[in-house]
Structure 1
Amino acid sequence: MEPDFKEGDQVLVSTLNFNNLKGPKKMRDLFVGPFTIIKLIGKNAVEVKLTEEFSRNHPVFPLSLVNPYFQTEEGKFPSKKKSPTPPDIVEVEDSPGPTADKDKWLAEDAIPDGNLHLRRFKASRRTEQSHQ
């Protein structure tokens, strides 16, 4: 299998074997970069130009630890369709009607079957108090 990379390509390198990274292992980035490929070494490895931060690491990595770098999302997902522009936000005003606002008190006569609900509520309170 021929590598899909060529000299000059930008790649991300796995941090799997990097021992000089700070912080807890769970919080570290899985890949770092982008780095530029200097040369291909056989069919299974690449040599990259590491930045000063990673200069203590060996610059040759197997292809299994290298991923291509895409600058934009279009490069990652070429078949992804652009989403249409979102619709304008329309603010809806509350209409004065029979529905009650949760923060407002309503008169008993403004609630349909209000008398019935009030009697049931008071009866349920009496049974709760008698059980205590």
Structure 2
Amino acid sequence: MVVDVVKRCFRVFKKANESTGKILGNMIKVQELRRLWGICHMDWVTGLPPGSDKSYNACLVIVDRFSKTQIFFPCCKDDTAMDTAPLIWNRVVSWTGIFTNLISERDPTFN
């Protein structure tokens, strides 16, 4: 009798704890932090209302993983990698130095 109760509880527990979401890919280990602006994350915030000059509707965000310092740049959601590269080079790399890693969330901009 006790064995039957335990078996039923185990089945309920197992079913309640099954993953219902999409299977995630393998995580990539990021190098350990050694210096400011060595490893940075980059992402776009889109869906913003147009700016005062009506040309910007998104924001490029770059975050230093070591210090959590953030830099925000107005941009357009239709910007390509060719539009973004000079922005990063002229406004970030010239100030912080070259990154060891720049991590993006596989944005369609870079496909």
Give the TM-score taking structure 1 as reference length.
Answer: 0.21
- Of structures 1 and 2, the larger Rg is shown by 1
Greater share of residues in helix: 2
Which structure has more relative contact order (CA 8 Å, sep 6+)? It is: 2
